Amino acid sequence: MFSNLFKKKEKNNEILAVVDGQLMSLEHSEDEVFKDKMMGDGFFIKPESEKIYSPVSGTISSFFPTKHAFTILSDNNVDILIHIGRNTVELEGRPFDINLVEGQKIKAGELIGTVNFKEIIEAGKGTEVYVLFPELTEINNFSIEDEKQLLHGEVVVKFKY
């Protein structure tokens, strides 16, 4: 009768594509920090559009002043780090038209802003858009389909934790 009372309840999570493009696993990253999952597990997308969308509904928990990265605390209590580009912190926010505020509520699939990827390429930086789970150590059944073409808003991965 009480066998399920003290079991940890797993939560279902869906993560949506943040940008149109090609889905890639972290093992294909040219940056060792991402490749070795030092910032958490996840995936990246090689962008084919300049528009960036929210992968989940939740609250902005941090937003870097250089606008290249932000963290969302999902409504299911999962931290998700969106990191736009490789070494783009050095561009001091110039290619990013993203205006978020810590504490701001956002919906899954909501347009967050735009990125001038041409400017990033001209600066010799990488354009990958990383979606990472820095605090999650146990993701059950987490896998992605490498090199799959995506449109923003498509479900990239479903997982339980």
CA distance linking residue 131 with residue 136, whole number of Å: 13
Closest CA to 158 of 23, 16, 41, 14: 14
Catalytic residue flag (residue 152) = no
CA distance linking residue 96 with residue 115, whole number of Å: 5
CA distances from 47 to 57, 70, 112, 129 (A): 21, 17, 15, 7
Sheet harboring 51-53: ordered strands across? 51-53, 111-115, 96-98
CA distance linking residue 57 with residue 160, whole number of Å: 16
CA distance linking residue 131 with residue 71, whole number of Å: 10
CA distance linking residue 71 with residue 83, whole number of Å: 9
Residue of 28, 68, 83, 152 marked active site: 83
Q: What residues act catalytically? A: 83
